[in-house]
Structure 1
Amino acid sequence: MKLQCDVEVVNRMLPTYGIKNRGKGVRAVLSIGRLVDKTTECNNIYLMICTANDRAGSKYKLKENIETFFTRFVAEGEATVILKESALDICLSFRLTLTAWLPHSLPLSTLTPARARDVEKPKKKLTIVSKKDYPLTSTFPNSLEPLQPRELINLKLEDNKLVWLPFRIGHLSKLRFLSATHNQLAMLPGDFRKLTLENLDLFGNPFVHPNPLDHTIQLCISSLTLCYW
């Protein structure tokens, strides 16, 4: 059984020596399995925590070693295992229901080290500047953060046969560079006046008026390219 989550191992004895715990979890893979205890030569059940810096994993005996298992906040993705030996607290942060990961009965296999891809920090951003950056042989990572339109700075809409720009384009408060060349734009939306652009390129559009930036639209633009048919 394996679970990908953030883990923080807290030593309860450190504060007595005036030492603070790190206070931050790291990406890890948790496994529960069987392992032969070298001292007793008995087959025991262990919890193994593998991280990017320790793929072989740190092992903690579970049988008769769990003092408390706090599951009050499991629904929120938080749980803590308090071990008797070594005075350790293992704090878990995960994205699935822990009861689904810990069924009542399941055969336990031998513990094995984690793979590199299992302990890598999930990608939250993906930058594509050329064709080779596009994930052709795989899908986009599920961990990518959703696009926040209000954070958009540079918007390129060239050669898309657009007949109008979005009416709520003014909500892009951080937009500084806009290029909408070679489309079918006849006018600009009234919401356009809310933008604070540094560069605007509208070349190759059949605007109704020679200057689509009329008196109702006041912009602070340092570079402007306009062309009408």
Structure 2
Amino acid sequence: MRLQCEVEVLSRLLPTCGLRGRGRAARALLSLGRPPGAAGAGIYLMVCTARDRGGARCSRTWSGSSRASWRRERPRCGCGSPRWICASARVSQQEANVINLKTFLSAVRLAHQGNDTGVLPLSPLVPAKNSDVEKPKTKMIITSRRDYPLTKSFPFSLEHLQTSYCKLARIDSRVLCLKKLRKLDLSHNHIKQLPATLGDLVCLQELDLHDNHLEAFSGALCSSGLQKSLQLLDLSQNQIQALPLEFCQLRGLVQLRLDDNALLRLPCRIGQLSRLRFLSAARNKLPFLPWDFRNLSLENLDLFGNPFEQPNPLVPNIQLKIPLTLLECAARATVNHRIPYGCHLLPSHLCKDLEVAKTCRCGSACLSSFIQITVTMNLHHVAHTVVLVDNMGGTDAPVLCYFCSLHCYSQFLDRHLQSHA
């Protein structure tokens, strides 16, 4: 029975001498068994490290539920006092399968109790291989195509992988098997499309895709395991024109970079990104911001270089249908009264329409019957630090505003004219 873990070797005499009692953890291989060719010998626990691959054997074992330790009594030292060596082995879920850990601890307990050794999963106590005691590689940085591995697999223990300037046209399927990845940097490549299996990297916190050839960001990725894990997303210097409606399901996002794309609009429900603190969408083609943008609470905002339109509340875009259609009335009632709905109750296209329902300034919902205008909003209302919107030193931007009826629009117009009188 073998177990890979980290081991600390401690001396019980150090505290009596006023010295620190804790050592430095080392990568090790624990083995429970007998020496080769010694069928009748006792059972030993052997620890092998990179410095001592031959291993040190220990008897008298003891085990606990989440912590395994052993100790060995050595011959008395010159001062006549007994000397004890205590070692503790910590194993996290990322280092070993939970079932393997429980099996190992159970075997150690049975061996200590003197149970029938014939049923114990014993291993021959032989020196460890280099691969058994080497610390797992957690970081790999590749910045040229010639250094990119073509035949070798990536270490499954990787948590940080950077493959930049490698002229990759797609994401390597071997990368999609690295389930422990927390940071993935694929910047400065030629990637045009993202595979749906990228969402299987449920531990991924940072994804850097800037300076590629992306034209879209898949809605399937927004509905995957990245919803909770992804905190930083860099899509700058690509060719994206619009983000999907599902993009606002990435509720864990803290930092979002969209600079130097061809964005014509931002997601209409962007205000649902409640944890977002840093947003950069400079040098795009945004004519205005969605009304939900006012619900953001940012620390830093950069919208420089967008061709924002000049707001004019007196020139509305009227899409009102009088009288309202039955579909419009039912949709408004569903949203206003928060009636549960889903694809099991309604056609999928109706569900999508309800998800993008517009909100009037009075709080009522409207679907396809509305009045639309653009109004000015000072970006300091949503961000502590604002990069100037233009070279004129302004921090105002146009925001879409909707009205569910002529009555709501006329009330707004009266207040607007009075404020400018």
- Computing the radius of gyration over CA atoms, which structure comes out larger, 1 or 2? 2
In 2: Cα distance, 1:13 partner to 1:181 partner: 67
1:14 aligned to 2:14? yes
1:221 aligned to 2:378? no
1:156 aligned to 2:145? no
Q: 2:178 aligns with which of 137, 140, 145?
A: 140
1:189 aligned to 2:326? no
**1:176-215 equivalent positions in 2, closer than 5 A:** 177-178=280-281, 181=284, 187=290, 189-192=293-296, 194-197=297-300, 199-200=302-303, 203=306, 209=311, 214-215=377-378
| Displacement after TM superposition at 1:10 (Å) | 0.9
- Asked if the contact 1:50–1:114 (Cα under 8 Å) also holds between the matched residues in 2, the reply is no
Q: 1:128 aligns with which of 143, 162, 185?
A: 162
SS at match of 1:197: strand
Corresponding residue of 1:105 = 120
Q: Which has the higher helix share?
A: 2
In 1: Cα distance, 2:165 partner to 2:52 partner: 33
- Asked if the contact 2:2–2:29 (Cα under 8 Å) also holds between the matched residues in 1, the reply is yes
In 1: Cα distance, 2:398 partner to 2:7 partner: 58
SS at match of 1:13: coil
In 2: Cα distance, 1:180 partner to 1:169 partner: 22
In 1: Cα distance, 2:178 partner to 2:31 partner: 27
In 1: Cα distance, 2:284 partner to 2:132 partner: 42
The C-alpha deviation readout for 1:40-77, integer Å capped at 9, x for no partner, is 9x9664433334x426153123xxx31x5141xx1xx3
Percent identical among aligned pairs is 16
Query: How many residues were matched structurally?
Result: 213
TM-score w.r.t. the length of structure 1 is 0.65
Q: 1:84 aligns with which of 59, 73, 78?
A: 73
TM-score w.r.t. the length of structure 2 is 0.40
Greater RCO (CA < 8 Å, at least 6 residues apart): 1
The C-alpha deviation readout for 1:204-227, integer Å capped at 9, x for no partner, is 79x795887614762321254689
In 2: Cα distance, 1:121 partner to 1:213 partner: 54
The C-alpha deviation readout for 1:101-152, integer Å capped at 9, x for no partner, is 3455224234232333753246374243626496643522437455263684
In 2: Cα distance, 1:127 partner to 1:184 partner: 37
Q: Unaligned stretches of 5+ in structure 1?
A: none
The alignment's C-alpha RMSD in Å is 4.3
In 2: Cα distance, 1:213 partner to 1:127 partner: 43
Paired letter, 1:222: V
